[in-house]
Amino acid sequence: MAFSAEFDRYPLTGRFLAGRLRHDLTDAEKTELEQLVVRTSTLEDGERLIARGDACEWSTILIDGFVLRTLDSGERRYAVSFHVPGDFVDLHCFALKRLDHNIDCVGRATIGQVPHSAITRVMAERPHLARLFWFSTLLDAAMHREWIMKLEQLTAPKRIAHVFAEIWRRLDMVGLGYPDGFETPLRQTDIAEMCGATAIHTNRALADLRRNGLADFQRGKVRIADRRKLEAYADFDPAYLYSDGALALRKTA
């Protein structure tokens, strides 16, 4: 994909389904999708875009930045998934109206808001685009299933390695990865919340990854010398991302 040309033409939605089924969108559908965004705003680090139980009349596409889906339990927060630019972070709100989790910003994030009334019109008049919206929510479900399995299977260092491998792949899809890793606003506390580990165990796990030459996490930069080595260590198979491998989407929807 010619990322720069696509983003120049569609600055608000040009990363939607990039690396998956964006090739299946017609120019008319891309234009309509861009026009669905009626308002943009920038949120600061730590802002909660949506709290559990909030009534929603719009859905949000992440234009720039990084957000987490989180659950609060007692005094602890648990991060159950993350989103990168191009993702609809709460398309579930269209059907559910209220989420059972929170959407929290990590670092500064720019978002675009799409009214549910506009999505209703898409459902009625643009069935193919509506199906792609549905597909994007199913991707979230596929990633949730993988996280649940890996949380049970892997040790803390391997869970962190798996998270790093997934972030790198997903940023690559939208043109934001680097040959030797990626940049992220995630802090060590966020990584702990994503992996169900304590701060102490996370610190030790990151040290293990660095010592073994698998990944070096320093001040928001993750540098990885050997992608295959990291992915093998994490037992990471990117097929569940529906971009590469046996489940890659090569045909139209």
- Domains in the chain, please, with CATH? 3-138 (2.60.120.10), 150-247 (1.10.10.10)
pLDDT for residue 252: 60
Query: pTM score, two decimals?
Result: 0.94
pLDDT for residue 183: 96
pLDDT for residue 38: 97
pLDDT for residue 4: 78
pLDDT for residue 250: 63
pLDDT tens, position by position, for the chain (253 residues)? 467 788 899 999 999 999 999 999 999 999 999 999 999 999 999 999 999 999 999 999 999 999 999 999 988 999 999 999 999 999 999 999 999 999 999 999 999 999 999 999 999 999 999 999 999 999 999 999 999 999 899 999 999 999 999 999 999 999 999 999 999 999 999 999 999 899 999 999 999 999 999 999 998 899 999 999 999 999 999 999 999 878 887 666 5
pLDDT for residue 91: 93
CB distance 77 to 193 below 8 Å:
yes
